[in-house]
Structure 1
């Protein structure tokens, strides 16, 4: 008679519950470091195309969440909308104010606010916009719920979010290998997938349109791009600050190699193609 043996699996530890207040405090400090506006202003064309995708009309009320230095804000104001521009980093809102004043754009209110706890009434806005902003909030279901709440029935939520396989998505992955992200928090690049958008917004949407587009980062060289990102783009600045000299050299080498891998510019300057998902959600 053969004895039967069984293997009992060791109990697995429960998944870590993210400490959202602590994560958000660190994120706020990250985005307040450097000067994101130096990088952000190069992305202005995406604010314009998102406003076109949302089919904004003059006189509509528009909320720009996690607005940064105001790319979508300014684009909506150029279309004669009544715009509320929000971010939880006051210095970034100030950059938006400066740009609006320089262009003599009116009808914009700049207001400090967290996308996960928006200080606005239900159904307050005709359209809610985000260009590479809301995707960084640590609690995606809460973020989506707030964006839906303040958008009126029949209104639109329009976003541009970096994809996981595109250049910036791969930058997140590379940085994460050197400086691990907080436990329990998913990659912000998951906002650049249709599946994640449908999961977050589908129950409250009558239609979700998505299209993959490309933004071209244009710099003198990979070394120039690294210099700018390392000096001004908070997440990269903070990643380098967390490493010793050897770690910084390794991260720099990996990022430069990645820039070369996505480069389409050849010998006429760096042209890095980065995929993003353009999304327009019609609110139920």
Structure 2
């Protein structure tokens, strides 16, 4: 086996592992219950219009793709994990829109150069392991002068801190893989795209979560619904002490980012970065 063949096989194995991780639990249900507004926020920030060609990268069940289709755009929702497409198709039908669903690796998109007017990714490409490859593909398929729109969890926010808390309990990352929340760092994203983009607008915002009554509720839900959390617990499943330690770490973290304001019920605040830019004209 030559070096290239070995690298290709390792990459295929890694992507199959990622696909299985996101197929575990029920991410479409989590997204529908807690993250639904984010897709519409990204689409609005990108100024998606009728008849534009839009690609949503690492789309999941179409949290951004469906709102784009509702604007009259011609939309392709692409994702490495097609197991999530059925939920997306049902949601699209409920909203009376049609779009195309395509199985695709964010690091090797099966689309032509400069094919799309708008390329979006809502909490999606950030989870592709090789950040530069994901950024390169987004730029490649976007038309010169077209819009690139990304929405990502920040390293300083709750989800970023959650990944940091899970890291000591997770298997070592493969060579070259980078932490997902780095996509929530403006400097990191600017470096990935370099001078290939212009007219950059960034904004940090907070998503308020009302789905849990207390930190323990968050823990139970994420252990059963969120693929990355499920994967880490599966890895340490035979070590009762590590399981207890991770339970404690995540519960304490949720308590830190959660609060009850006045007479309101307990809620959490999750920070994200909105990153909008134009592809530089050639």
- Does the Cα contact within 8 Å between 1:202 and 1:208 map onto a contact in 2? no
Q: Give the Å deviation of 1:202.
A: 2.2
Give the Cα–Cα distance (whole angstroms) in 1 for the partners of residues 42 and 266 of structure 2: 25
Give the Cα–Cα distance (whole angstroms) in 2 for the partners of residues 70 and 226 of structure 1: 25
Q: TM-score, normalised by structure 1?
A: 0.90
Gaps of 5+ in 1: 1-16
Rg bigger for which structure? 1
Q: Give the Å deviation of 1:82.
A: 0.8
**Counterpart position of 1:202:** 194
Query: Superposition pairs for residues 1-284 of structure 1, below 5 Å?
Result: 19-41=10-32, 42-106=34-98, 108-184=99-175, 185-218=177-210, 219-243=212-236, 244-265=239-260, 268-284=264-280
Question: Relative to structure 2, which stretch is displaced further, 265-274 or 126-135?
Answer: 265-274
Question: Relative to structure 2, which stretch is displaced further, 161-170 or 207-216?
Answer: 207-216
Give the Cα–Cα distance (whole angstroms) in 1 for the partners of residues 56 and 172 of structure 2: 26
Question: Relative to structure 2, which stretch is displaced further, 176-185 or 46-55?
Answer: 176-185
Give the Cα–Cα distance (whole angstroms) in 2 for the partners of residues 62 and 265 of structure 1: 40
Gaps of 5+ in 2: 1-6
- Does the Cα contact within 8 Å between 2:171 and 2:235 map onto a contact in 1? no
RMSD: 1.6
Equivalenced residue count is: 267
Aligned-partner SS, 1:121: coil
